Amino acid sequence: MNIGLIAVVMALGIPMVAIICGTIASIVGKDATRKDDPEQARMIQEIYNSLERMERRVDSLETILDDTAKKESHHDHGFQ
């Protein structure tokens, strides 16, 4: 398994999720006194949709890494 690639994905993915969550908390915290702010709702929905897309991408990357590791393992053991 390519440990370097996993490290890069984790090193980039974890801070991005933290930044996005911090942004959501900041938006919600600042505008907590306003009720039914359509702009706030739109921004939160966009962030939520972005997080879902990021989750799908990370899942895809994990699948690719797993498949690559399996192929390398089989190749290393003489399987093809």
Model confidence over 1-54: pLDDT tens digits?
A: 577 777 777 777 777 777 887 787 777 776 555 566 788 889 889 999 999 999
pLDDT tier at 67 (50, 70, 90 boundaries)? confident
Look up the domain containing 68 and give its range. 3-27+37-76
* Greater pLDDT, 47 or 75: 47
Inside any domain, residue 32: no
Per-residue pLDDT tens digits for 38-47: 888 898 899 9
Assigned domain for 21 exists: yes
Return d(Cα 79, Cα 35) in angstroms, integer: 62
- What is the predicted pLDDT for the residue at 57? 92
Q: pTM for the complete prediction? A: 0.50
Residue 20 contacts residue 53 (beta carbons within 8 Å): no
